[in-house]
Amino acid sequence: MLEWWHRQARRRFIIPTSKVRELLDNGSYEEAKEAAERALQDNPNNALLHYYAAWSCDGLSLETSAIPYYEKALELGLPDADLADAYIGLGSTYRAIGNYEKASETFNKARTAFPDNKAITVFASMALYNSQNYKEAMQLAIQIIGETSNDPDIIAYKKAILNYAHDLDAVWD
C-alpha cells in the first residue's frame, strides 16, 4: 500500500514537457534543466525531455553536459519540428568544445535530413572552417549569401556569385 502511495504522489508532481519548453522560451535555463531532469526520472525515453535538457545545458554554458542529452534525444527520435534544431544544437556544441570532426559529421547528417534548411548549412560552414576546410566552408557560405540575400547589390550579381561559389579556384583564359 505504501509503495502505491509513493507512486501516486510522484505522478502528481510530473512536469509536462510543455512547461519545460515554456521555461526554455523564457530563458529560465536552470529551472528548465532541473524540471527536465526530474521529469526524465519518470520518463527516461522521452526524446523531447532529453532535447530540452540539452538545450538548457547549452543555455547555461554546460556544453559537455548537453551532449549526452542531445545524443539520446536523436537516438529516441524527435518530431521534425525539433529535429533540425537538435542537430544544430548538437553540432554547435561539438564545435564549441573543439570536436570539429563530430560537428561536421552531425551537420552532414542534418543537411541530408533537411537539405533546404539554410541555417544548418551556415553552421556546417563554420565547422568546416574550424577543421581547416576553408575552400568548402567559403563555398557553402557564398552559396547561402547568393541564395538568400535580399540586398539589391547581391541580387544584381546573384548569377555570378552562385557560379563562382561552385569553384573558387577556377581561372578562365
DSSP state letter for 150: -
Among the listed residues 128, 171, 129, 163, the one whose alpha carbon sits nearest the alpha carbon of residue 147: 163
Cell of 14: 510530473
Distances (CA, A) of 14 to 3, 18, 37: 17, 12, 11
3-state secondary structure 85-106: HHHHHHHHHHHHCCCHHHHHHH
pLDDT per position as a tens digit, 112-128: 999 999 999 999 999 99
With a CB cutoff of 8 Å and minimum separation 6, the contacts of 69 are: 50, 51, 53, 54, 57
SS3 label, residue 132? coil
Stretches where the chain sits below pLDDT 70 are 1-14
Measured between alpha carbons, how far is 123 from 129 in angstroms, rounded to an integer?
A: 10
Distances (CA, A) of 126 to 92, 100, 122, 145: 9, 9, 7, 14
| pLDDT of amino acid 17 | 85
Measured between alpha carbons, how far is 138 from 18 in angstroms, rounded to an integer?
A: 39
| pLDDT of amino acid 14 | 62
- On the CB side of 17, CA atoms within 13 Å amount to 15
| CA-angle at 23, arms to 85 and 88, nearest 5° | 10
